[in-house]
């Protein structure tokens, strides 16, 4: 079984391989790598890529591209695979294809390749990622599809797409966020940094509450990280049954230390005491009281 090429090498590494080119498939193996000759294909014979990870295309951007194509033509050919008699399926170039339809073109220049479904998914994914056109959720969904449909581990996936495993894991974790927050990522209302901070909160209700606060107050990533850190102990505290605030003891200790003190205690007598401090001076003062 031959080793698969890593997607991190770029889409051209996959498309320019003569073994995937119908027009050069019978050439000797030693033949130079090239994109092969360009054919002209009727637009009516081309169908969209079912593995296209990108689901949103700006109408305004497509109209601008259509205008450019009307004036200058298609500078970069689309890439297709043959799926039947006079039937082709897009591998890459869906924006150009859609804009060509808007421009009223009857034919488009195209490279013709041989690619199975797995290669189709991989090539469509890497093209969009390299052009930074996918939103974070589209990337995450694409990664998950590669894991589910191509049966890759996260380690194998990270090698294929040329990203470290932690980055891949961060994208996949986005799919665990509530739908409302995922929509915010898709619409770019919040960024990846905001989302990573929200993921650290285990309570979905708290996640959504903080998400609304981000949108309303235009919070920075650093501010969200700080808020997430204060929210995390609360969610963890609810998971430890039996601990209840001891308000009387908390008040007594607060008077002694001159600082806010939180005492939580179970009916068995065990518990914890928390004394927050804001700076080194306040810490030294608390330590001095402790003796």
User: Which residue matches tokens 């002694």?
Assistant: 256
User: 130 near 96, Cβ under 8 Å?
Assistant: no
Q: Taking Cα atoms as reference points, which of 121, 54, 26, 30 lies closest to residue 81?
A: 121
User: 161 near 172, Cβ under 8 Å?
Assistant: no
**Whether 107 is catalytic:** no
The catalytic position among 27, 47, 60, 94 is 94
Q: Taking Cα atoms as reference points, which of 151, 135, 240, 244 lies closest to residue 186?
A: 135
Task: For residue 123, give both structure tokens.
Answer: 């090539």
Q: Taking Cα atoms as reference points, which of 231, 238, 240 lies closest to residue 208?
A: 231
Q: Which residues pair with 51 in a beta bridge?
A: none
> Where in the sequence numbering do the catalytic residues fall?
94
């Amino acid at each position: 079984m031959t080793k698969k090429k890593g997607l991190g090498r770029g889409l051209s590494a996959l498309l320019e391989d003569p073994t995937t080119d119908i027009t050069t498939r019978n050439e000797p193996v030693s033949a130079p790598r090239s994109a092969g000759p360009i054919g002209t294909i009727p637009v009516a014979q081309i169908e969209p890529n079912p593995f296209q990870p990108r689901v949103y295309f700006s109408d305004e951007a497509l109209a601008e591209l259509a205008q450019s194509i009307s004036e200058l033509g298609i500078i970069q050919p689309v890439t297709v695979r043959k799926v039947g008699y006079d039937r082709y399926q897009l591998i890459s170039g869906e924006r150009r294809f859609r804009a060509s339809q808007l421009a009223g073109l009857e034919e488009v220049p195209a490279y013709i390749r041989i690619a199975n479904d797995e290669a189709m998914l991989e090539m469509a994914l890497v093209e969009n990622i390299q052009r930074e056109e996918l939103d974070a959720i589209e990337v995450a969904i694409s990664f998950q599809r590669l894991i589910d449909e191509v049966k890759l581990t996260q380690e194998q996936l990270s090698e294929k797409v040329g990203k470290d495993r932690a980055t891949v894991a961060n994208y996949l974790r986005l799919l665990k966020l509530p739908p409302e927050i995922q929509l915010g990522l898709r619409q770019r209302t919040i960024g990846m940094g905001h989302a990573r901070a929200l993921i650290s909160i285990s309570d979905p209700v708290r996640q959504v509450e903080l998400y609304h606060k981000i949108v309303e107050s235009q919070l920075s990533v650093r501010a969200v990280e700080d808020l997430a850190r204060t929210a995390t102990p609360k969610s963890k505290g609810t998971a430890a049954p039996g601990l209840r605030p001891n308000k009387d003891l908390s008040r007594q200790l607060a008077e002694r230390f001159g600082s806010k003190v939180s005492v939580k205690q179970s009916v068995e007598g065990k518990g914890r005491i928390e004394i927050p401090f804001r700076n080194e001076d306040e810490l030294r003062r608390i330590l001095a009281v402790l003796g």
